[in-house]
Structures are given as structure tokens and as C-alpha cells.
Amino acid sequence: MAEYSVLIGGKAGEGINTAGLSIAGLFSRLGYRTYMYFDYPSLIRGGHNFAIIRASDRTVGAHRTPVDVLLAFDQNSIDNHRQRIHSGTTVIYDASQVVRAEGYGLPLDAIVKEEKAPPITKNSAMLGALSRVGGIGREILDDVLRATVPAKHLEANLRVSGRGYDAAGEVFTVEPLDAPALPVLTGNEVTGLGLVHGGLDTYVAYPMTPSSSILHFLANRAEDLAIKVIHPENEIGVILMALGLAYAGEKTAVGTSGGGFCLMTESLSLAGMSEIPVTIVMGQRPGPSTGIPTYTAQGDLHFVLNAGQGEFPRLVVAPGDLEEAYAWSATALMLSWRYQVPAIVLTDKTLGEGAYSFDFGAVATPPDHEPVLWDGAGEYRRYARTENGVSPLAFPGREGAVVKATSYAHDEAGFTTEESEEVIELQEMRFRKGESLNAELATYPAVKTYGARNSGTTIICWGSEKWACIEAAEEFGARVVQPLVLAPFPARQWKEAMIGAGRVVCVENNATGQFARLLRQHGFDPGRPILKYDGRPFAVDELAARLGEVFA
């Protein structure tokens, strides 16, 4: 197995994220599958940012602790990562900043001064040195720079990268693979694209880490994708605007994190009662409250399952990688419209801001679903009683229809009612809709498994921990079971997936085992918990060590 790990670290504002993506691009150009974990504190300049790029001839979606190459712009980038350095690690550092290091010291200040290049080109010097260390030809390096650097800065970057290249020596050889160069995208970008696949007309959001980059990406691509992108005054305005758009016929999604979602819950309940479809991308980060804003967690599962006053059906899905993010964002939007329920795409910082090779061809294209529309016959009633609970939609402006949507308990036409019988009918109708959704989901891969059945050990995980678990499981020959749908809970598929599970552990990025609690609610045994709640995702080796303690 060919695989490489590279860490690049420096101060915020030095372009570490972009440099990391260039490194991923370099490996991608050689046919490798890549994954990048980006770690940064909540500040604009200074501090310590780092990215770990892992490249492999197989699919990767998690990092490992040791690195083969460490690119250090400052002393912290070495001192904070001593545990990652081993005998085979090559350290490349900025000799203008780092005083204690062994490896290739690049006098970056002198290089950029001599080349009359802006300081940001120091990243290209690192990229050049990395290429040399990995035996990657100059032409490939230049090609990657040409693809990523704006034309007016290209020449300076090529000169500086050449200096870095010349300053290092070849340590190992990254063999080109006979595989296509896949694009490297973040979970947020692919989630946005998936929403558009599902029929998105308009995206509405207020900035909040880790979901802001969906807003930025879609705003930047609004013309290319023919969508509207709107940034209103706050998250309350966001979801109300979305509901207004949807009431008038536009498929709309919003994106936020825990704090913003708190503000949306009042209107989540409105969506439940008024049956106006909306899709919410909920990118988790560690709470409570402001918590650790730029880090990761899976601590809001029960929050999204239960948010909003009253009882109403909802769809909650939790993709674990790009291919799932694409398919399930599209599915969430389509099913939200098909069943007129709010849909939540539950992600986290790891998936949303992590970068992965995107194998578009490997996306399981979800089935198409159109909303049920009014046929124009007779008098229009927005909440007409039907067997499957779904009332046909009409939108304002439609001749012959008076479309009355409401937050109150209502009769079929949408007029307020407080009558016992009508209230019961309305509630039961809503839950028929939820049952219909549940029946529909039986035809989807709502629970996925990896590895052999009857292996005697099973690892349960959800969301972004998927790939760390799949890799770690291989060391134990264990099976991995991953729910994609969390509500309505796919109990039948779960039961089927867990036949012969043997010893079970449940891996989660939270302190209380929230998915385990959900399993117990549905009468399933979640096994033993393996929890991590420091705001960081599991490294594969770290998880393997924890599994070893349990399976020993």
C-alpha cells in the first residue's frame, strides 16, 4: 500500500489551508486519493494552524498521527507535533523562523526577497521542497501551481517553488499511480452541489463556522449554478425567508451550526405545522454555547432529533464522506418536498471543512422525487386529507387556488381550528406522512455495513467518523455499521445489519454516547462506548489503540 502523510503548519493568515489543498492537489495529480484535516484556532492572524494531508492508493477519509514529511513555518509547527515525528520523518522548515530543527532549512525570507515575491509565495517554496523530497518532478509541481495560482502571481510562485525544490534532496519516491486525478473538495462544497442536484433554487444562510463555507462557495458559484444565495440579518430571518421562498414554490436550503440552529428551532416547528419544506444543513461543533468554535463534535444529535415545540415528523440524515454528502443532501431536499417535512443534513466540522478526493462516479445517484402538486380539480385545500398524509401543493399566483398555510392547528382549507376532532385528524395526518416517509426510506441504503458479517466484532459509528472506523476496523477484522438516516429511525435495516454483530462498540465524537442513546430508545444494544470529546476527530491509529483496549 502506497501512502504518505504530510503536515504543514504555521500561523493563521499564512495560507496554510490553501497550501494544504495544493499538497492534496499534487498527490491527486499523481492519481492518489487524498484527505486533508485542517486544524485552526478561532482567530484571524497568529496562533498555530496546521493541515495534515494523507495520500493513498486507496480511499482515505481520516488522518494518522505519524507523518512522513513535516513542513514547518515556525517553531510551534515542530514543537507541537513531536509525537508525529519518527525516524523516517523528513522535516522541512523555514530557517528564518525555526531555530531548533533537523532537516532541510529553507531561508524563506531571503528567498522571497531575492525573487522579489510576496510573502505568501513561501508556501510554494515548501511545496517545491516537498516535491523534491518525494521525488515528484518539477513539471508536475509547475502544473499544479499553474492550476491553482492566479495568473498574475504565477511567475513569482514558480520561481520561489523552484528555489524550494533545489534546496532539498530526494528522500523517497512517490510513484505515479494509474488512476484518474480526482478533484479535491470539502464536505461543504459537495453538500452545496448535492443540494443543487436535489433541485435547490435558493440557499439562505448567516455565517457560522463550520457551515460558512457552504454560503461562500454557493455565493461564489451562484451564476454558474443558476441559484440565488442570500445572507439575511440573522438565523431567525434565514429560516423564515426560506419558508417564505418555499411557500411560494422555491426549493430552499439553509445552513448553520448549533447556536444558529437554536435560533431556527421556532421556525423548524413552524415548518412542521405549516408543512412547508425546508432543508437545514447543521454542521456540528463542540458546545455548549460558543464552545470551541473551529473544532469538531457530534454533540447535537438529540438536539436536532428533538428541536422545536410539539410533535412532527422530520428527516435527519448524517453523511460520512463526500459521496454520501452529495447523495444525501440531494435526497434530503427531494424527500423534504415529497413529504413536506423539514429535513436536516447533520454534518460536522470534520466533514464540512475537511477536504477529500471526490469520486463523482462513485456517488450512488439517489432516485428522483417530485413534490405532489395540485391537479387543479375542484376547490384547492392546502391541507386536504389523504391516505398517505401528503396534501398536494399549490403556490400563490396559481389561478383558482387560495393557498392558506398556517402555524395554527387548522382544518383542510388552512383555517384555524381548536375543535377536538379536527385537531386529532390533523395530528394523525401528519404522522401518516411520517410513516409514508419511513416506508419510502426502506428502499434507500439507510444503514450501511463494511467488512464481513460474523466477524465477531462490530464497530458502530455515524457521520464523519466513518473512515477512521473503517480503517481501524481492518486491524481487528471487525465489521462497521453506519446509519445514514437517523430519523425516522431505520429500525428494520438496523436489525438486519446487526445480525451476528458479536462484540459491539459505538464510536462517537461526544461525551455521552448520543447515538448509543438513540439505539437504546429503539430497543437496540449499542455495546460499549468509545468516545472522544476534545474537539478533534479520531486519528486512525488513536482509534485503533482505543479499540484494542476494548477488544483485548
Partner 1 sequence: MTPDQPPGRPAGGLISPAQNTWCPGCGNFSIQHMMKSAIAELSEEEGIPLENFVLLGGIGCHGKLADYLNVNSLYAIHGRSIPAATGIRLANPDLKVICHVGDGDIYAEGLDHLIFAAKRNSDITVIVHDNRVYGLTTGQYTPTSPTGFKGRSTPGGITEHPINPLEVMLAAGATHIARGYTKKVRHLKDLFKEAVMHRGFSLIDVLQICATYFNLTDYYNEHAYEMQEGEVDTGRFESALGKIREWDYDREASIPLGTFYSVEKPVYEEKFQALTAGRPERRALVRKVIEEWR
Query: Could you say which of 43, 147, 373, 424 contacts partner 1 (CB under 8 A)?
Result: 147
Would you count residue 421 as binding partner 1 (CB under 8 A)? no
Query: Could you say which of 88, 360, 522, 534 contacts partner 1 (CB under 8 A)?
Result: 360
What minimum distance in Å lies between the beta carbon of 233 and partner 1? Answer: 4
Per-residue burial over 383-422, b if 16 or more Cβ lie within 10 Å, else e, is beeeeebbbbbbeeeeeebebbbbeeebbbebeebeeeee
Query: Could you say which of 26, 72, 200, 297 contacts partner 1 (CB under 8 A)?
Result: 200
Q: Are 526 and 460 spatial neighbours (Cβ–Cβ below 8 Å)?
A: yes
93: three-class secondary structure by DSSP? strand
Which stretch, 150-158, 410-418, 425-433, 445-453, contacts partner 1 (CB under 8 A)? 410-418
Would you count residue 225 as binding partner 1 (CB under 8 A)? yes
Select from 39, 55, 46, 53 the least CA-distant residue to 73.
46
Select from 430, 191, 414 the least CA-distant residue to 321.
191
Query: With the CA atoms of 207, 285, 15 and 20 taken in that order, what torsion angle do they form, in degrees rounded to the nearest 10?
Result: -130
Would you count residue 266 as binding partner 1 (CB under 8 A)? yes
What minimum distance in Å lies between the beta carbon of 60 and partner 1? Answer: 19
Q: How far is CA 529 from the centre of its chain?
A: 23
What minimum distance in Å lies between the beta carbon of 279 and partner 1? Answer: 14
Which stretch, 121-129, 172-180, 402-410, 529-537, contacts partner 1 (CB under 8 A)? 402-410
Would you count residue 395 as binding partner 1 (CB under 8 A)? yes
Backbone angles phi, psi at 98, to 5 degrees: -95, 130
Query: Could you say which of 221, 432, 503, 528 contacts partner 1 (CB under 8 A)?
Result: 221
Would you count residue 59 as binding partner 1 (CB under 8 A)? no
Q: Are 228 and 222 spatial neighbours (Cβ–Cβ below 8 Å)?
A: yes
Would you count residue 216 as binding partner 1 (CB under 8 A)? no
Would you count residue 398 as binding partner 1 (CB under 8 A)? yes
Kindly write out the interface string for residues 173-192 of this chain, putting x where it contacts partner 1 by CB under 8 A and - elsewhere. ----------x-x-------
Would you count residue 197 as binding partner 1 (CB under 8 A)? yes
Would you count residue 386 as binding partner 1 (CB under 8 A)? no
Tell me how far apart the alpha carbons of residues 306 and 314 are, in angstroms, rounded to a whole number: 9
For 57, residues 6+ apart whose C-beta sits below 8 A from its C-beta are: 1, 2, 3, 31, 32, 33, 177, 179
Q: Are 74 and 42 spatial neighbours (Cβ–Cβ below 8 Å)?
A: no
Chain positions 230 to 259 lying near partner 1, rule: CB under 8 A, are 230, 232-234, 236-238, 240-250, 252
Would you count residue 535 as binding partner 1 (CB under 8 A)? no
Q: Widest CA span of the chain, in angstroms?
A: 83
List Cα–Cα distances, 437 to 130, 281, 324, 416, 525, in angstroms: 51, 19, 19, 26, 25
List residues binding partner 1 (CB under 8 A): 25, 147-148, 183, 185, 193, 196-197, 199-202, 204, 221-228, 230, 232-234, 236-238, 240-250, 252, 266-267, 270, 274, 358, 360, 395-408, 414-416
